[in-house]
Amino acid sequence: MKQLKIIKIGGGIIDDAVSLAHFLQLFARVEGPRILVHGGGKGASEMLRALGLAPKLVNGRRITDAPTLDVVTMFYAGKTNKAIVAGLQQNHVNALGLSGADGNVIRAVKRPVREIDYGFVGDVKPAGVNAKLLGALLELGLTPVICAITHDGQGQLLNTNADTVAATVAVAMSQQFAVELHYCFEKNGVLLDVNDDNSVIDNINLASYAELKEAGIIADGMIPKLDNSFDALGQGVHKVIIGHALKINDSLKTVLCLN
């Protein structure tokens, strides 16, 4: 089976122009077919504040009312996605920027209202990913660059967590490829001490994840990231790696496995 790398970068790297430029240079050197998925949550919150809209996040998910959806669509699918595509073109990567609506790449379902009304937030499943189109684009030598905006097929755009987009695309592509999913951020990996970048945990399995979470060593945004990762491994993704965006070719990183 052919290899495919799905690499996700978050807001911490995207918002820093120097870091982003460096990351894109490194990404351009990654061999073989690859897909880039990006977030940008930090910058979106700044833009919302600048426009007089208060950002609201619950359990790491943004409450997305209609004005917020307009801003995040402009920010993720517009400014951020196009800046990344232009940066990759500069590095001789023929990148193609996509929201979930483009080519029906990711169809989502608006999150049902339970205790919390998340507004225009989309939940995604592997069956909603147009894996055939992504495979065909890779075959053409293009590098898809996917943002966190999805659609419901009824004309409604939706906002979806970028880690979840990456994991769902990874699972969907596992039918065609041996997929490695890389979560890249601004730390060296999952750390024993979140303030010590030298404390990388080399390997985490489901049992040690439960213990690390219980001990409070893994917290905040790392919990949904690891939940997404273990879900992806359980659904056919070969390998999940968590590491520093500016060290994607180094050995310093956390490798996740089920057992």
Ligand X SMILES: CC(=O)N[C@@H](CCC(=O)OP(=O)(O)O)C(=O)O
Ligand Y SMILES: Nc1ncnc2c1ncn2[C@@H]1O[C@H](COP(=O)(O)OP(=O)(O)O)[C@@H](O)[C@H]1O
List the binding residues for substrate: 40-41, 62, 159
Three-class SS of 9-33 = ECHHHHCCHHHHHHHHHHHHCCCCC
Shortest approach of ligand Y to residue 225 CB, angstroms? 6
Which x/- pattern over 191-210 shows residues binding ligand Y (rule: CB under 6 A)? x--x----------------
- Torsion sign over Cα 225, 197, 15, 83: negative
For ligand Y, the closer of residues 131 and 218 by Cβ is: 218
Residue 171 interacting entry, from ligand Y, ligand X, none, C-beta within 5 to 8 Å by type: none
For ligand Y, the closer of residues 77 and 222 by Cβ is: 222
For ligand Y, the closer of residues 14 and 158 by Cβ is: 14
* Member of 182, 187, 239, 244 binding ligand Y (CB under 6 A): 187
For ligand Y, the closer of residues 9 and 233 by Cβ is: 9
For ligand Y, the closer of residues 131 and 170 by Cβ is: 170
Which x/- pattern over 17-56 shows residues binding ligand Y (rule: CB under 6 A)? ----------------------x-x---------------
Assess contact for 162 and 41: CB atoms under 8 A: yes
Query: Rounded distance, CA 140 to CA 103, Å?
Result: 15
Assess contact for 180 and 5: CB atoms under 8 A: yes
Shortest approach of ligand X to residue 68 CB, angstroms? 8
* Member of 74, 96, 217, 255 binding ligand Y (CB under 6 A): 217
Which residues contact ligand Y by CB under 6 A? 10-12, 39, 41, 163, 185, 187, 190-191, 194, 217-222, 225
